[in-house]
Amino acid sequence: MNSNLIKSAPDIPPLENGDRLTALEFENRYQLMSNVKKAELIEGLVYMPAALRFRQHGKPHAHIIGWLAQYEAATPGVELADNATVRLDQKNVPQPDALLRIDHEGKSSISEDDYVECAPELIV
C-alpha cells in the first residue's frame, strides 16, 4: 500500500467495529481518527478492542515485552516493536501487542511511511 493513496476527504465515514473494508479503506479511516488507539483489520473485518484489564493483559504484556527486549539486546539484527501496525495483505492489517523481525534478510520490511509490510518472524 502507498501512503499517497490515502484520502483526506471529509466524507469518509468513521471507522467502526464490525465494518467490512479493504486494507486501503481501513487505513484511510484509521488515519482520520486520531482518538482511536488501536484498530485491526482481520480477514476484512474491523476489530476495535475494549479496555484492557491488568491481570488478563497488562501484566502479561509487560512480561512479554521484557522477555523480547532481552532477546533483541542479545541478538544482532533483530528488531522489537510494540503495537506496530503490520500490513499483511488486502484483508489483514493487525496491530499485534509485540513483534520481532529480522532487520535485513527477514520476511518483512519497513515501508516508506514506516509500517511493517509482510509477516515478521514473530507476532505476539
Q: What is the pLDDT of residues 32-53, one digit of tens each?
A: 988 888 999 999 999 998 888 9
Q: What three-state secondary structure class fits 107?
A: coil
Cα–Cα distance for residue pair 44/35, rounded to 1 Å? 22
User: pTM for this structure?
Assistant: 0.83
pLDDT at 10: 66
Q: Domains in the chain: how many in total?
A: 1
Three cell numbers at 51?
479496555
pLDDT at 9: 57
pLDDT at 106: 93
Identify the domain containing residue 42 by its residue range. 3-123
Q: Which residues of the chain have pLDDT under 50?
A: 1-8
